[in-house]
Amino acid sequence: MFTARTMLLATALTLGICTMSLADTLYGSIKFKDGSKADGSVGVSTSWNGKKGYAKNGMYELDFGEKVGAKITVYVRGTSVGTVFVSGNTRFDIIVP
């Protein structure tokens, strides 16, 4: 028979497992060479999938919707700005070329 304590433990374990399977995210600052913050007209994409993120107040974020666990290339306006290994929440700051 399940007690309240057993049910609470089972719920906590289930939530812990669900939390571990969250999608990977790439995020960071995005600025121009002169140091000014990039705005919504600057798109960020990767070699992983077709998703794009746009700069907002000098920051961007791409939610991959799944685990990546791989080295990917990051593009701004179609130009490669570097590579990064994405696992979990990964920070990658960008200077717009």
- Provide the pLDDT for residue 79: 94
Per-residue confidence (pLDDT) for residue 50, from 0 to 100 = 83
**Could you tell me the pTM of the whole model?**
0.75
Tens digits of per-residue pLDDT, 3-60?
655 555 555 555 554 445 589 999 999 999 999 999 988 999 999 998 899 999 999 9
* Domains of the chain by start residue, with CATH: 23-96 (2.60.40.2070)
- Taken in order 66, 72, 74, 75, is the CA torsion positive or negative? negative
Contact between 28 and 91 under an 8 Å Cβ cutoff? The reply is yes
Per-residue model confidence (pLDDT) at position 61: 96
